[in-house]
Amino acid sequence: MQQVNPARFMDMLQRLATFGAVPGGGVAREALTISELEARRWLCSRFSAPHYRWYMDDAANLFLRRAGLADALTPVMTGSHIDTQPVGGWLDGAYGVVAGMELFLALDDAGIRTQRPLELVIWTNEEGSRFSPGAMGSSAFADPTRLADFLPVTDAGGERFEQARDAARQATPAATSRALGRPVHAYLEAHIEQGPVLEDGGFQLGIVTGIQGVRWFEISVTGVSAHAGTTPLAARHDALMSAAQLISRLGEMAAARQDPALRFTVGRLEVSPGSINTIADRVTFTIDLRHPEEAVLAEMEALIRQTVEAKTGACGYALRSLMRRPPTRFDKAVIETVAAAVSATGAPACRLGSGAFHDAMYLADVCPTAMLFVPSHKGISHNPAEDTAEADLVAGVRALAGAVITLATPANALQSTPN
Amino acid sequence: MQQVNPARFMDMLQRLATFGAVPGGGVAREALTISELEARRWLCSRFSAPHYRWYMDDAANLFLRRAGLADALTPVMTGSHIDTQPVGGWLDGAYGVVAGMELFLALDDAGIRTQRPLELVIWTNEEGSRFSPGAMGSSAFADPTRLADFLPVTDAGGERFEQARDAARQATPAATSRALGRPVHAYLEAHIEQGPVLEDGGFQLGIVTGIQGVRWFEISVTGVSAHAGTTPLAARHDALMSAAQLISRLGEMAAARQDPALRFTVGRLEVSPGSINTIADRVTFTIDLRHPEEAVLAEMEALIRQTVEAKTGACGYALRSLMRRPPTRFDKAVIETVAAAVSATGAPACRLGSGAFHDAMYLADVCPTAMLFVPSHKGISHNPAEDTAEADLVAGVRALAGAVITLATPANALQSTPN
């Protein structure tokens, strides 16, 4: 699309990165914090023409609807999220949202109104670092009955998701309320790869065929707190020592499989009471387990449970499942639409699976869905060093624009296939 | 001493436990928090007769001076601390302070003025859980040059010790400022044992002959944060996995020595960024190492350093010494004075070393010092379940009173011996 304006697009992307910018680098804009709400208000302020409308649903997902010529048809949706990890990079999520903004402004410049309405969506709490699990917004959109489980979830400071959701509503008066979960013709999400495949292969664009499966667990180890100076080693019920041994064992077990597709991460660990001279009475840690094959996930979960249960020594153990998703296969027709649009840009591209999960994972449950990747420098993400070359970012916007316009034209019927 | 009033003493002890009381049990009264400052104000309000004066020094140590008949003589000092672990018990520290309060009130009832002045002291930040290291107040009293290192120390919320110290001054207008570190004739501290020796032996009182040596370390493990879903196991620099392996190895090493006097504890561990789906880039944890013999401490420290340095894999490691104290031997003459006072109470007693460290450890550097223990139920401390039988608590107050009165009589010259 000729009207895609690289300077305007990069300006908007850099402006979005100022909300929650960390001195020295990185962005701290966790879900529904003041920084994210200010960024949402800024987004709203950019679209005031009469063919735009803002909506917010009961999960605080924010939608910018661009009216279609046949506005009663189901919309083509694009977007992503603008929440970050506690300290994340400037592109994760933000890229897909600003790409959608640029697409809409380019359509305005070109005087194009698509037949189908278009919707740009900002999903709530994709990262899951403030409120667990992640992708709450898209998950509740795909199945509104899930919202009831999310509302009472609290962040580390004790604030409920429900309170944060209500604050988001008040902070965005421009958005009209609407119900969760509406029919969508097709969903296409642009995102940074967050891995090294595209860069290593010299590709500018990636046509994403699916997302690996993921299971999240929380393990609690319960001991007895006691004085570090008076309690003999043999008489201890030391929750931190037991947790360290367990994590160490689980890590060795995962590494021993030598499966290059397996991901096993303990990223969060909390100690109570957390004092130098007191034996810990409670440690809670998380496991993030991923693999493209459901059978491997099931086998690994069985091994983890077995290892946790075998540790019947001085401490108590409890394992809780926080989230699980089987591998996702994207819609063949949407994949081919993306492939054609990518091909039209002339940028070198390949097909690949996603290592990270995305809101598109839940959308794939309810509508034909696919994703488009741009490279991540050295594969780094969830880190202030996250970056992508401008030429790649712009190529992605052009490909997204081409694919969305095709999807929004009713003559191009989607041959939807089951996931 | 006949005038020791068990009901008044227990009332004061229970009243002190209400400052920072946790619903369901335990006391949360970390150093110089609002709860501790309120408790200090309550202490001040109890002593207004003209022979009492309150003082505070530059480390926020609080002194209640009871004028002596020969007030120019150096004082006999008793006391302890009233700060607690994040959630501690009701007796750790508090017992020694309230025992001193009861001693003073009993002397008032008996119309006794000792020759030497008496001072009841509330030391600042003994626990070291809010500001590290512990025993800041008594340490700075014993060597005022240490204060400069303590003032910039921050708590988990970023508040400097200096700010907290200044707030303590403002909160206690009844106390006159005075310089750190003054000559003391003798120091005697009553405390709960925080271990099982007295209870297991059927003793009501313990004459403490010394304190085991202690070394505190902080170890930082530095990795690279990256996305949990996209980064292959073999390509990771996972600070949390490396820390778990290191703690596990150090724990095995300590246990393998099978030395019943050795104490090795990892009580605090912090993870950055601490998100489920991000590989940790930094883990910081502490080691509390104790033993009655300096040679064993030195050997263990060498082993710890060796193990940390050997882990030259994917992550970086740094070891920092936070605090170190050789084993302390108390003053023979004060020990014998305590032994005589204990004997006069008729309570079954024994001599023992202290597993925990105490403010008396630093006082022993500058004046003849000893301690008196009462039993801890099941040896439990730093825990809401911390408890001692009332009869034992009261026997301790009587023994403390007898020993302090003897020490405050100049005819009883101390035959001080080097530590």
A291 marked among binding-site residues: no
Residue A313 pLDDT: 67
Pairing of strands B316-325, B62-66: unpaired
CA dihedral B320, B322, B328, B334 (to 10 degrees): 170
- Mutate: best of B382, B383, B386, B387, partner A, most A CBs <10 A: B382
Please state, as a whole number, how many other Cβ atoms lie within 10 Å of the Cβ of residue B255. 15
Residue B357 pLDDT: 87
Q: Which residues of A touch B260 (CB under 8 A)?
A: 232, 234
Q: Rounded CA gap, A199 and A205, in Å?
A: 10
Q: What is the ipTM of this complex?
A: 0.76
**Is B228 near chain A, with CB under 8 Å?**
yes
Question: Which string of DSSP letters, residue by residue, matches B77-108?
Answer: EEEEE----TTB-SSTTHHHHHHHHHHHHHHH
Residue with tokens 């204990």: B342
Q: Which residues of A touch B31 (CB under 8 A)?
A: none
Where are the domains positioned within chain A? 6-211+328-407, 213-325
Whether cis (ω within 30° of 0) applies to the bond prior to A152 is no
Q: Which CATH superfamily is domain B6-211+328-407 in?
A: Zn peptidases (3.40.630.10)
List pLDDT tens digits, range A238-268. Answer: 999 999 999 999 999 999 999 989 999 999 9
| Alpha-carbon gap: A167 to the closest alpha carbon of chain B (Å) | 24
Residue A415 pLDDT: 55
Q: Rounded CA gap, A387 and A376, in Å?
A: 6
Please state, as a whole number, how many other Cβ atoms lie within 10 Å of the Cβ of residue B234. 9
Residue B313 pLDDT: 67
Pairing of strands A205-211, A349-354: parallel
Residue A158 pLDDT: 94
Please identify every stretch of chain B with a pLDDT value under 70, giving residue numbers as ranges.
312-313, 413, 415-419
- Mutate: best of A22, A268, A277, partner B, most B CBs <10 A: A277
At B142, the amino acid letter reads A
User: Do residues B131 and B31 touch, judged by C-beta distance below 8 A?
Assistant: yes
Average pLDDT, whole number, for chain B? 94
What CATH code is assigned to A213-325?
3.30.70.360
A358 marked among binding-site residues: no
Residue A411 pLDDT: 76
Q: What is the 3-state secondary structure (H, E, C) of A64-83?
A: EEECCCCCCCCCEEEEEECC
Phi-psi label, residue A30: left if phi above 0, alpha if psi -120 to 50, beta otherwise: beta
Residue A312 pLDDT: 61
At residue B305, what are phi and psi to the nearest 5 degrees? -60, -40
What percent of chain B stands above pLDDT 90? 87
**Is B210 near chain A, with CB under 8 Å?**
no
Residue B417 pLDDT: 45
Neighbouring-strand partners of residue B64: B54, B120
The distance from CA B323 to its chain's CA centroid, rounded to whole angstroms, is: 14
Whether cis (ω within 30° of 0) applies to the bond prior to A368 is no
Closest among B270, B297, B323 to B133, alpha carbons compared: B323
User: Do residues B128 and B325 touch, judged by C-beta distance below 8 A?
Assistant: no
Neighbouring-strand partners of residue A263: A290
Please identify every stretch of chain A with a pLDDT value under 70, giving residue numbers as ranges.
312-313, 413, 415-419
